[in-house]
């Protein structure tokens, strides 16, 4: 029996000797490589935290001592050690393990949002609750990466945590110098300086040993003086201690792959009885040569791969939405030197890396700081430039106030590009981009485009950056772009009719990537004797006037969108029809207003009735 097979819970770890623990860490890495290769998932982050997670569960009593993982993509080892080893064959599939902490799975999972920088705020609240309840023997543990420390919310929490000297909290900074890509900015430079100055600690240790070995008062006095000027010495050897300046006890840096050293540091931190930062240095992708040698992101996230080669088992030959955007933005950048790009630590995943390589002076990576990204974009626009801010749709949620008050209120020309809009699927509830049309639809003056194919993505991106009197949004989903869908006719305000004679009894207004699905539904209905026109508004906000006019004298108007039904395009179209006194039966098809469990994109769309068969079924049921 392997060591891993003997570990069914955290208590089993405490019975292992050092040799068995070493074997366990190797077996966990082998397990991760084999299982994640078969399903896809976050491989690099988890390979990097094996020893750290083992140490955490040996030192702390989870779940009584709650362990809060920031973002949570590095929680696979935690899942393995808390009784879920046998469920990894279903990782990130419907009914299987979530790729993030999940409260429904285990009492050891405290939170489950996969948005970065929130962990310290959760932990601050937990520590306050334990204090008020008199549970002073419980320690709150936070695991946060150096990448997440580029987000302002983390420092808002640290500001509060530092003021509570008697609340037991251990803040583990998992420092691998990366988020998706290398961490940038002043915080990264400070942590890097601390990480690279082990000579200082060694010198202090040698001095302490030499002086305190003397039994006379002189030796002790000299060491006391030296200890008193320690902060000043460290300011000379490395930059000023980042956390000590906030009043937080700092320990480190510790080699996060030395299990004994990591465990010793965590025990000292636990015994301190107040907030302590333990700076642990790890290597993303540790122990898997293909991840370690992957310069882009150390195999942060993978699809299904061959574990021996690290290569995808079925390489995709189709073009994806992100690469079409990337290519067109580079073309625009070559034509216009006022166009600049902003990423929140995700240049590669959002398609901005190529722009940054071609125009390095016009590309800004602000770290995991979406609020700052959008407010900074407003400043760039005020300075005469046209910023393009590319983020995942789900992360626009965090910057809504800045888009509303710092961009739209000032009528600044900022283009938001929302990748992974609609349903993303396997990453679960907090990654689905099903909120952006509801959020942007309430912003005065915003214009929102939803391209249906590669051609319209290129067109609408160019139209967006040509607008100079307010914000624009271009949204598209994850995955491959489908075949081109030509327009049969185009109205004066830019609405494309993509199917039907123009005077059919049923009008379908379809949004973005669901245009093709709506056309397939129209064909099915037509085969059953129901005539259908399908319109693609291209720009969904504000609702084009021709959509309202086209809705007159119809038997039924149907809206189809991959957004939450509340406050989406269906709601906006319906409101415009009411305002224009257009009395027509209507159906709004979209995503139910609920948090969706992880599953494939196709499975979720089918559940919501957003398939050709589902749309046709909804139309037939209303026409009966």
**Which active-site residues does the annotation give?**
284, 370, 398
For tokens 């994109």, the residue is 601
Q: Please, are residues 119 and 142 in contact by the beta-carbon 8 Å criterion?
A: yes
Q: What is the 3-state secondary structure (H, E, C) of 106-132?
A: CCCCCCCCCCCCCHHHHHHHHHHHHHH
DSSP per-residue string spanning 338-358? TEEEEESS-TTTTT-HHHHHH
282, two tokens = 């790890």
d(CA 307, CA 328): 34
| Measured CA angle at 535 (ends 529, 539), to 5 deg | 165
Which string of b and e fits 40-78 if b means at least 16 CB within 10 Å? bbbbbbbbbbbbbbbbbbbbbebeebbbbbbbbbbbbbb
**Nearest Cα to Cα of residue 154 among 70, 232, 91, 89:** 70
102, two tokens = 């999940």
d(CA 318, CA 47): 30
Residue 570: how many other CB atoms lie within 10 Å: 24
**Nearest Cα to Cα of residue 282 among 586, 77, 430, 516:** 77
d(CA 282, CA 35): 22
Strand-pair partners of 499: 534
């Amino acid at each position: 029996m392997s060591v891993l097979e003997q570990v069914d819970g955290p208590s089993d770890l405490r019975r292992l000797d050092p040799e068995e623990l070493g074997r366990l860490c190797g077996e966990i890495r082998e397990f991760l490589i084999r299982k994640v290769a078969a399903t896809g998932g976050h491989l690099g982050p988890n390979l990097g935290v094996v020893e750290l997670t083992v140490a955490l569960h040996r030192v702390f009593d989870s779940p009584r001592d709650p362990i809060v993982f920031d973002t949570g993509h590095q929680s696979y080892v935690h899942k393995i050690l808390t009784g879920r080893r046998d469920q990894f064959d279903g990782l990130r599939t419907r009914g299987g393990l979530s790729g993030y902490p999940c409260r429904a799975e285990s009492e050891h999972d405290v939170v489950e949002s996969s948005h970065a920088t929130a962990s310290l705020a959760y932990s601050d609240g937990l520590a306050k609750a334990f204090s008020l309840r008199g549970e002073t023997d419980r320690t709150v543990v936070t695991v946060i990466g150096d990448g997440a420390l580029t987000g302002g919310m983390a420092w808002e929490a640290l500001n509060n945590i530092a003021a509570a000297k008697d609340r037991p909290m251990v803040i583990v900074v998992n420092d691998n110098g990366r988020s998706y890509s290398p961490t940038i900015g002043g915080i990264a430079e400070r942590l890097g300086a601390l990480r690279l100055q082990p000579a200082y600690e060694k010198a202090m240790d040698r001095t302490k040993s030499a002086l305190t070995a003397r039994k006379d008062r002189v030796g002790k006095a000299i060491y006391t003086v030296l200890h008193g000027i320690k902060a000043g010495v460290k300011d000379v050897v490395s930059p000023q201690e980042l956390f000590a300046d906030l009043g937080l006890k700092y320990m480190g840096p510790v080699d996060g792959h030395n299990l004994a050293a990591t465990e010793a540091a965590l025990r000292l931190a636990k015994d301190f009885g107040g907030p302590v930062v333990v700076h642990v240095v790890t290597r993303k992708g540790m122990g898997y040569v293909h991840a370690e040698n992957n310069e882009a992101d150390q195999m942060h996230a993978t699809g299904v791969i061959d574990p021996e080669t690290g290569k995808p088992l079925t390489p995709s030959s189709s073009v994806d939405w992100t690469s079409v955007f990337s290519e067109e933005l580079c073309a625009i950048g070559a034509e216009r030197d006022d166009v600049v790009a902003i990423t929140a630590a995700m240049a590669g995943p959002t398609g901005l890396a190529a722009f940054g390589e071609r125009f390095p002076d016009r590309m800004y990576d602000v770290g995991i700081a979406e609020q700052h990204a959008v407010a900074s974009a407003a400043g760039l626009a005020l300075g005469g430039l046209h910023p393009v801010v590319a983020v995942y749709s789900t992360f626009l949620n965090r910057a809504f106030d800045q888009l509303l008050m710092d961009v739209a209120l000032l009528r600044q020309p900022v283009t938001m590009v929302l990748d992974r809009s609609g349903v993303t699927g396997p990453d679960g509830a907090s990654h689905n981009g099903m909120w952006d049309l509801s959020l942007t639809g309430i912003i005065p003056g915003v214009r929102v485009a939803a391209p249906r194919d590669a051609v319209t993505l290129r067109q609408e991106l160019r139209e967006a950056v040509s607008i100079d009197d307010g914000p624009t949004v271009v949204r598209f989903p994850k995955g491959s772009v489908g075949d081109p869908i030509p327009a049969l006719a185009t109205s004066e305000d830019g609405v494309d009719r993509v199917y039907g004679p123009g005077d059919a009894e049923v009008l379908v207004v379809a949004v973005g990537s669901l245009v093709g699905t709506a056309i397939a539904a129209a064909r099915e209905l037509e085969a059953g004797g129901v005539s259908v026109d399908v319109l693609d508004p291209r720009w969904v906000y504000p609702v084009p006037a021709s959509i309202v006019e086209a809705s007159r004298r119809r038997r039924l108007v149907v809206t189809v969108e991959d957004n939450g039904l509340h406050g989406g395009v269906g709601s906006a179209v319906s409101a415009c029809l009411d305002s224009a006194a257009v009395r027509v039966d209507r159906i709004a098809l979209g995503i139910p207003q609920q948090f969706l469990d992880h599953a494939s994109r196709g499975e979720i769309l089918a559940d919501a009735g957003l398939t050709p068969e589902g749309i046709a079924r909804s139309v037939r049921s209303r026409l009966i």
